[in-house]
Amino acid sequence: MAEDHQMLIDGVKSFFEYDEDISIIGSVNNGEELVKLVSLKQPKLVITDIRMPIMDGIQATKIIKKKLPHINILAMTMFDQPDAIKQMLVAGATGYILKNSGIKMLSKAIITVASGETFFDPNVAFNFMNDYIDDNVTIGKSDKVVLSNREKEILNLIAEGKTSRDIAETLFIAKTTVDTHRKNMIRKLDLSSGNELVKYAIDMKYQF
């Protein structure tokens, strides 16, 4: 595990101390030390932040995946910006979770990514990862779902009975963009269909 805030490392270690399925076998505070630690211990999974001193998590991930491609990498960070997410995925990470998502979701992410599958925090910028997310990807579930300002706008317009074409004309954006936002909100809110999204929008009308 690589994280420049020792308090967070200590907290994660403490939580998993008696876990039968997850064991933290080492921790460091920068990317350079992470590369050395992984080369030495070759764990099944690496958890790394993005911003760290000496070497960041993106560069460390690139080096680790080049040397040891079988090792799975989970990004745990505060960055929800599209560029940061894309860079980590291109570097080789197969999991992305925000630090404020909670320890239970971290546990789920660790188990999922360690098994060779892909995991995404429900609150990351889905709009910029359509090339990475499909039906085989696990999306975490959270009690606290954060919708973007644009998603809130669209949700309120859905509650007013507007179609995707109507919304596109109202907001001066493409209909395909509206459809993408709808799809992403269904994922984030853990809904099963567009009809459920409409019902949710009506129930939540004017609360955003």
Report how far residue 81's alpha carbon sits from residue 84's, in angstroms, rounded to the nearest whole number.
6
Q: Distance between CA 144 and CA 101 in Å, rounded?
A: 8
Confidence (pLDDT) at 127: 47
What's the distance, CA 188 to chain centroid?
Answer: 11
203/186 Cα distance (integer angstroms):
15
Give which of 95, 91, 134, 135 is closest to 111, Cα–Cα: 95
Distance CA 150, CA 173 (A): 11
Only one residue has tokens 């910006």, namely 81
Read off the tokens for 191. Answer: 């809904």
pLDDT at residue 108, as a whole number: 87
Report pLDDT digits (tens) over 39-84.
999 999 999 999 999 999 999 999 999 999 999 999 999 888 888 8
Q: How far apart are CA 156 and CA 149, in angstroms?
A: 11
Nearby residues of 56 by Cβ (< 8 Å), 6 or more positions away: 31, 50
Which domains, from first to last, does the chain contain? 6-139 (3.40.50.2300), 149-203 (1.10.10.10)
Cα–Cα dist 79/60, whole Å: 17
Distance CA 72, CA 82 (A): 21
Contacts of residue 179, defined as CB under 8 A and 6 or more positions apart, other chains included, come to 164
Please list the ranges in the chain whose pLDDT falls under 50. 125, 127-128
How much is the pLDDT for 140? Answer: 60
Q: Kindly report the pTM of this predicted structure.
A: 0.65
Place of tokens 């606290």: 144
What token pair was written down for 134?
A: 């499909």
